[in-house]
Amino acid sequence: MAGDERQGTKMSPAKPGGDFKISPHGDREIVMTRSFNAPRQMVFDAMTKPELIQRWLLGPDGWTMPICEVDLRVGGSYRYVWRHSDGKEMGVRGTFREIVPPGKIVHTERFDQPWYPGEAIITAILTETAGRTTLRSTIQLSSTEGRDGMLKSGMERGVARSYDRLEEILATN
Amino acid sequence: MATANLDATFAALADPTRRAILARLAKGEASVMDLAKPFDMSQPAISKHLKVLERAGLISAGQDAQRRPRRLEPKPLAQATEWLERYRKFWEPSFNRLDNLLEELNNEEKRKEKRHGRR
């Protein structure tokens, strides 16, 4: 809770991992929340301007985003392609359904890889309090088959690791 | 893992009381009475939740006929939460990077303001 340190001189950077939270809602929705030490226009820009997106939306270490195209208008589409240092590639595309700068973006998401069939709909809401911005992102899969497909592909990598996170995931938000 | 089971698993996980029960059982088995205590709920109400969790395969009841302690069945739960883990694995490091980017942008903005003679 560093909300009152307005001057930014002693603002300690968020702990590793920040206040990231992720939990299931029903059987095909995921809700993620995370707060940032910046006004929401800045966070909105970082989420929508290609030259900024390319600097952070990279997932685990080792990935870059050589292709990042964003046509930020309702009905406009976006296209991201990531490349790993080992040559692997991963791509996603989608369409914007609602854009209300700097507070709301709704877009679809479909991965090139068959992680899950169908589209997910992402609703991102940004709220600002005392210079801090909270992002709340809801990911709705089009079907439970999508979720199951994702689970199945995850299963191949083993599930032991996720058990470590159990208590956190079960925390009643 | 059958889809029907998974739906039951996620339906079971959607309720905060049931998530709290699972979190409690993650620390060790407990009787219905133990479980009812922190929730300010009647035993029948807790039993209802336990039934849902049991049907979803997330918990099981022990042999002791008197206490029938409930315990967590970690595997189905871990399978269900793997779904979330995939997202976490991508978003957590991304958001940490975004922290750094935002700090840079903030500093840039401050420098610009200074140059324009404001503080």
Domains present along chain B, CATH in parentheses: 3-115 (1.10.10.10)
- Tell which wins on pLDDT, B76 or A151: B76
- Tell which wins on pLDDT, B99 or B75: B99
- The answer to whether the CB atoms of A37 and B102 lie below 8 A apart is yes
A55-60 long-range Cβ contacts below 8 angstroms, 24+ apart: A55/B97, A55/B101, A56/B94, A56/B95, A56/B97, A56/B98, A56/B100, A56/B101, A57/B94, A57/B98, A58/A82, A58/B93, A58/B94, A58/B97, A59/B89, A59/B90, A59/B91, A59/B93, A59/B94, A60/B89, A60/B90, A60/B93
Provide ipTM, 2 decimals.
0.81
CA distance B52 to chain A (A): 14
- The answer to whether the CB atoms of B23 and A171 lie below 8 A apart is yes
CA distance B1 to chain A (A): 9
Burial A128-137 (b: 16+ CB within 10 A, else e): beeebbbbeb
Is the overall model pTM greater than 0.80, yes or no? no
Give residues with Cβ within 8 angstroms of A46, minimum separation 6: A52, A53, A56, B98, B101, B102, B105
Which of A23, A42, A160 is the closest to B105 by Cβ?
A42
Interval A56-72 mean pLDDT:
96
| Minimum Cα–Cα distance from A16: chain B residue | B96
CA distance B88 to chain A (A): 7
Answer yes or no: is pLDDT of A91 > 80: yes
CA distance A19 to chain B (A): 10
Counting one residue from chain A and one from chain B, the pairs whose CB atoms sit within 8 A come to 161
Report chain B residues whose CB lies below 8 A from the CB of A41: none
Answer yes or no: is pLDDT of A160 > 70: no
- The answer to whether the CB atoms of A163 and B105 lie below 8 A apart is no
Which of A13, A18, A22 is the closest to B87 by Cβ?
A22
CA dist., res. A151 & res. B115, Å (int): 53
Answer yes or no: is pLDDT of A138 > 90: yes
Q: What is the pLDDT of residue A2?
A: 41
CA dist., res. B47 & res. A37, Å (int): 44
Q: What is the pLDDT of residue A170?
A: 61
In the numeric block, which tokens belong to residue A134?
């909270």
Domains in chain A, start-ordered, CATH in brackets?
A: 21-170 (3.30.530.20)
